[in-house]
């Protein structure tokens, strides 16, 4: 048992100042990921600053027609919110596809976004891992790679990002609001997480002490026609092998607009911009959806145990888009 202090945050400014001023302090949301890591010896904070009492727990309508989700909105409340279900079904479905009812009751929006990879070697402190200890090496490179990346990996890390919520937010082009010691900033959801490059230890572009306060969903009328599909090794309580978040706007048989993101394939939620570009303005047909999926996956580099992810991703992209276009899409 490694001792640590626990403090409930009174306000946003002091929470940010406390964590910024102490490199061994960490924010605590629902604790469903961080506390596990403390038990496993992956994280050893000396101070936990519990932010769940801060008044950042509401879903509010924005003047432009979008929604603001406070960082402390619990996953179960987010998935059940009537406006989320009506305007952004992909988001509600993504949250419900993750974890279990009990975990979703505790897990927060901010904590969900910042949960760390489920790479088994990262979670096993007896194996080398550049994400845990930079420069140590990567056990996955010569290990079991069924769950690992096929896009955007590096020789330093081939892990995938685990959050389903983050994949939906990437597709919706949500904006993450961040409070730091010297003010506020915003980060697009698609730019929050990073590819590993030579710094596998860094999951996101956030600096130590930066607090997520909210996530803004832009007004996106066609997001009402959206869905989340997730393939996994068992029907629930498992992370994605591949997931697809898609929203589609079709008029007169042509794609007016489309949003597409993939989970389970890279170190970050994968915004499928090549596929989006290939589809916009074109016919809403299965052939076009297949061609778009192929364009997105052309640069993929599967590992020895995960070549199946390419076919799976292609089929899931086509199936999700076909469902949104109407099952009779030619
Ligand atoms: C058995 C199991 C199965 C699961 N299955 C899935 C799944 O299928 N899909 C899925 O997406 N997830 C899954 N999860 C993960 C679960 O969704 C996360 O554990 C949860 O969302 C984390 O939220 P939390 O509030 O508990 O975060 P915490 O554990 O409190 O925090 C996580 C990280 O975020 C930081 N943090 C927390 N709040 C803030 C903030 N406001 N600003 C800045 N930093 C912050 C913490 O310091 C910590 O580093 C599963 C978890 C378990 C245990
Ligand atoms: S893939 Fe990344 S997280 Fe997994 S062992 Fe290698 S460096 Fe660590």
pLDDT in tens, 35-69: 999 999 999 999 999 999 999 999 999 999 999 99
Q: What interhelical angle do 308-325 and 286-297 show, nearest 10?
A: 140
> pTM for the complete prediction?
0.98
> What is the pLDDT at residue 327?
66
Ligand 1 centroid to Cα of residue 27, in Å, is 12
Tokens of 101: 């009812």
> What is the pLDDT at residue 2?
87
Residue 235 has pLDDT above 90, yes or no: no
**For residue 206, what is the DSSP state?**
P
- Number of other residues whose CB lies within 10 A of the CB of residue 218: 15
- Verify whether ligand 1 is closer than 6 Å to residue 241 (CB atom): no
Torsion of CA 42, 130, 170, 248, to 10 degrees: -120
Ligand 2 centroid to Cα of residue 240, in Å, is 17
Ligand 2 centroid to Cα of residue 120, in Å, is 8
Q: Which atom of ligand 2 is nearest to the CA of 119?
A: 4
Asked whether the CA dihedral 115, 117, 118, 123 is positive or negative, the reply is negative
Q: What is the pLDDT of residues 118-156, one digit of tens each?
A: 999 999 999 999 999 999 999 999 999 999 999 999 999
Q: Whose CA is nearest to atom 13 of ligand 1?
A: 99
- Greatest pairwise CA separation for the chain in angstroms: 64
- Verify whether ligand 1 is closer than 6 Å to residue 79 (CB atom): no
Region 85-106: mean pLDDT is 97
The CA-atom distances, in angstroms, between 210 and each of 121, 287, 320, 330 are 27, 45, 35, 48
Instruction: Tell the burial category of 327 from Cβ atoms under 10 Å away from its Cβ (0-12, 13-18, 19+).
Output: exposed
Angle, alpha carbons 303-314-248 (nearest 5°): 135
**For residue 102, what is the DSSP state?**
H
- Verify whether ligand 1 is closer than 6 Å to residue 51 (CB atom): yes
Q: Which atom of ligand 1 is nearest to the CA of 33?
A: 29
- Verify whether ligand 2 is closer than 6 Å to residue 42 (CB atom): no
Residue 1 has pLDDT above 80, yes or no: no
- Verify whether ligand 1 is closer than 6 Å to residue 48 (CB atom): no
- Verify whether ligand 1 is closer than 6 Å to residue 108 (CB atom): yes
- Verify whether ligand 2 is closer than 6 Å to residue 147 (CB atom): no
Ligand approaching nearest to the C-alpha of 163? 1
**What is the number of alpha carbons within 13 Å of residue 136 lying toward its C-beta?**
17
Q: Which atom of ligand 2 is nearest to the CA of 137?
A: 7
- Verify whether ligand 1 is closer than 6 Å to residue 209 (CB atom): no
- Number of other residues whose CB lies within 10 A of the CB of residue 66: 18
- Verify whether ligand 2 is closer than 6 Å to residue 284 (CB atom): no
Q: Which helix (H) or strand (E) is 177 found in, with range? A: strand 175-180
Q: Whose CA is nearest to atom 14 of ligand 1?
A: 99
- Verify whether ligand 1 is closer than 6 Å to residue 263 (CB atom): no
CA separation for the pair 330, 315 (Å, rounded): 16
Q: What is the pLDDT of residues 110-128, one digit of tens each?
A: 999 999 999 999 999 999 9
Q: What is the pLDDT of residues 245-296, one digit of tens each?
A: 999 999 999 999 999 999 999 999 999 999 999 999 999 999 999 999 999 9
Region 171-175: mean pLDDT is 98
């Amino acid at each position: 048992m490694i001792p640590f202090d626990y403090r409930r945050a009174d306000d946003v400014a002091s929470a940010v100042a406390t964590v910024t001023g102490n490199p061994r302090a960490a924010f605590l949301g629902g604790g469903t990921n961080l506390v596990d890591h403390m038990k496993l010896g992956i994280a050893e904070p000396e101070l936990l600053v519990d932010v769940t009492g801060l008044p950042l727990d509401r879903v509010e309508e924005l003047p432009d027609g979008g929604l603001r989700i406070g960082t402390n909105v619990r996953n179960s409340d987010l998935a059940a919110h009537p406006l989320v279900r009506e305007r952004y079904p992909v988001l509600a479905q993504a949250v419900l596809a993750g974890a279990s009812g009990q975990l979703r009751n505790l897990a927060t929006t901010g904590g969900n976004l910042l949960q760390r990879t489920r790479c088994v070697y990262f979670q096993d402190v007896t194996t080398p891992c550049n994400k845990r200890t930079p420069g140590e090496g990567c056990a996955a490179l010569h290990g079991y790679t069924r769950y690992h990346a096929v896009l955007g990996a590096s020789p330093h890390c081939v892990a995938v990002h685990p959050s389903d919520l983050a994949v939906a937010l990437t597709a919706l082009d949500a904006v993450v609001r961040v409070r730091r010691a010297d003010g506020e900033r915003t980060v697009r959801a698609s730019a929050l997480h990073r590819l590993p490059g030579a710094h596998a230890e860094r999951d996101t572009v956030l600096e130590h002490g930066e607090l997520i306060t909210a996530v803004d969903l832009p007004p996106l009328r066609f997001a009402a026609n959206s869905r989340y599909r997730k393939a996994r090794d068992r029907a629930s309580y498992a992370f994605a092998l591949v997931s697809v978040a898609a929203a589609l706007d079709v008029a007169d048989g042509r794609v007016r607009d489309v949003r597409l993101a993939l989970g389970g394939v890279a170190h970050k939620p994968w915004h499928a911009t090549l596929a989006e570009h290939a589809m916009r303005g074109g016919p809403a047909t299965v052939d076009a959806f297949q061609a778009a999926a192929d364009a997105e996956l052309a640069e993929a580099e599967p590992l020895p145990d995960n070549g199946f992810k390419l076919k799976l991703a292609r089929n899931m992209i086509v199936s999700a888009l076909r469902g949104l276009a109407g099952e009779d899409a030619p």
